[in-house]
Copies of this chain bind each other. A is one copy, B any other.
Amino acid sequence: MGSLGHSSTMVDLSHHINAKSRARHPSPLKDIIKFMGYDGMVSFAGGLPHPSLFPLDQAKFDCLSPEAPLPANRHSLEQDNRDGPSLTFGRGLSAGDLDLTQFLQYGSGAGNRQLIALAKELTERVHSPPCKYECLLHPGNTNAWAKVVGLLCENDDYVIVEEFTYPSAQALWIPMGIKAVPVAADAAGIMAKNLRHLLSSWDERKRGSRRPRVLYLVSVGSNPTGITISAQRRREIYDICVEFDIIIVEDDPYYFLQYPGYGSPTEISFTPKSIPEFLNTLVPTFLSMDTQGRVIRLDSFSKTLFPGLRLGYFVANPVFTERLLRATEVETQDPAGLSQAFVLGLLQKWGIDGYLTWLQNLQFQYRTRRDWLLDAFSAHFEPLPAEKSPIPEAQGFVVCLKNSHDGKAKPVFSFVDPGAGMFVWCKFYFDGIDRFMEIEMAGKSKDPEQDFASELWQAWATELVLLTPGSYYHAWQGPDKMSTAARGADPRTAHFRFSFATPTKEEISTGVARLAKVIAKYWE
């Protein structure tokens, strides 16, 4: 919990809790738990299985060390880093680093206390939230977002999202009749003036629903756009949220994967910075500027340790974490015990400083991978700064055909150098492309952009290279707002997403070459 002295500007936000969540009662069984702790109490009240009958006696995990450099270009899983700690868990207090028994038994719903304390310590170090908060464990951000929707949203609400947003987050609420209201972004994130306009001009009758109350953001290295919202833009957005009483859900799995700009100096191998220096390179979070308690932060270990853990934590106003705990009790219970044991053991061995060093190590790795992809763009195309390109109004770089027939720069796609995360989001330009114009002229297609994008995708797949179609990420505004024209998107454009997280350097080079081959066919 943040120091109480900081909480003076907190406001009562309990009216954001929806009817269903308000109707949850604490389990009456929980009342008995305090009695169970009495000295000499004999309890016939618990319903727990007997821990001596759990068939797991000991667990041992061999881990990597946070400091040891991971060779950036290794392709396989050979481990070059065998000097990391081992975590041993036994049954009983002195049988290893931690007593395994507590992690095998049912938990309280909130999660292991020591792990929560570490989550708070990490939260203080990284975000220093200015107001009162609690940490509550959850089984991954997918479930965390489901619980937040269960906390805040009513059927047929609108939720504010980025213009291109994470499809699974939407898939959860589409069956509830909820729709997205997208806000357009530039390279610094969603535009504050658009957000303000949206909220100030909201017409409840025309929209058929109350003004949105929830803003969902992957605000660092957004999936799919790769955009990180700047500090200045965050302050503007936060102020608007205060003015219009909006809850900000900060889904932030890529927070620690923030990179220096493409082309800035880099080392061959990883060299850690001091922790304060590292933390200084990270953009301030919404949580760090949350004086009122209106930010619900979803933190996850999926991208920083591994996804199979299904473990993360909420950081939020106690008014919200109390209700989220009620939902946890009846919907999921504690995250898995072995996951809790592993993370607690690892963070204790590494220390918070060790974890923050590991994160720099990861950052170096993914930055290197981002550079491989952008290097391959340069090798196979001609990227120009937008302002010097044939499309000066584009964001970032405009990637043109190399050596086009007529010697003029012929634009293919534009992208913003992703300062974080795992994705490069590319806007393709179809204007003047023969095959596209043919589809458009024929007048039979309801969505020529989408149809040509599909044809292109198929042609790439045939050449053995896969991208993700941008259409997967369109904000869901209802079945009548699906075509390029109906969405009001730029005509004669479509998006594709590149992920640079998984392929090797050679695969990236081969893949971009295959893309370029298909593009040459269509664009020339």
Contact = CB atoms under 8 A, between A and B. Distances in A.
A339 B336 contact: yes
B511 A42 contact: yes
Interface centre among A101, A175, A464 (most CB of B within 10 A): A175
A499 to B, nearest CB: 5
Give the dominant DSSP class at A's interface.
mixed
B336 A310 contact: yes
A20 interface: yes
B84 A57 contact: yes
A116 interface: no
A521 interface: no
A339 B35 CA distance: 32
Counting chain B CB atoms within 10 Å of each CB, the highest count among A21, A143, A346, A366 belongs to: A143
Given A55-B64, A56-B342, A306-B105, A466 B336 contact: no
A105 B307 contact: yes
A3 B119 CA distance: 49
A91 to B, nearest CB: 4
Interface stretch (A45-53, A125-133, A405-413): A45-53
A346 B55 contact: yes
Contact of A139 (B56, B307, B332, B422): B332
Given A167-B28, A310-B335, A91 B79 contact: yes
A42 B507 contact: yes
Nearest to A26: B171
Interface stretch (A69-77, A273-281, A393-401, A486-494): A69-77
A468 B57 contact: no
A381 B132 CA distance: 54
A24 B339 contact: no
A362 interface: yes
B142 A32 contact: no
A339 B342 contact: no
Contacts of A53: 70, 362, 365
Interface string A336-367: 11111010001000000000001000100110
Contact of A42 (B101, B358, B510): B510
A49 B336 contact: no
A45 B499 contact: yes
A468 B45 contact: yes
In this complex, the member of A48, A57, A58, A66 whose beta carbon has the largest number of chain B beta carbons within 10 angstroms is A57
A65 to B, nearest CB: 8
B336 A45 contact: no
A294 interface: no
A295 to B, nearest CB: 23
A23 B155 CA distance: 13
Q: Which 4 residue pairs spanning A and B have beta carbons closest together?
A: A308-B337, A42-B511, A336-B336, A23-B175
Interface of A: 19-25, 27-29, 32, 35-36, 38, 40-64, 66, 70, 74, 76-79, 81-82, 84, 91-92, 101, 103-107, 139-140, 142-143, 146, 167-168, 171-172, 174-176, 223, 302-303, 305-311, 329-340, 342, 346, 358, 362, 365-366, 369, 373, 422-423, 461, 464-469, 471-472, 497-503, 507-508, 510-511, 514
Given A32-B466, A307-B337, 6 more contacts: A24-B171, A25-B171, A41-B464, A44-B498, A52-B74, A143-B333
21 contacts: A28-B469, A29-B167, A40-B464, A44-B465, A45-B468, A45-B497, A46-B499, A49-B501, A50-B365, A52-B74, A52-B76, A55-B84, A55-B346, A57-B64, A59-B62, A77-B91, A139-B139, A139-B310, A142-B332, A143-B333, A332-B332
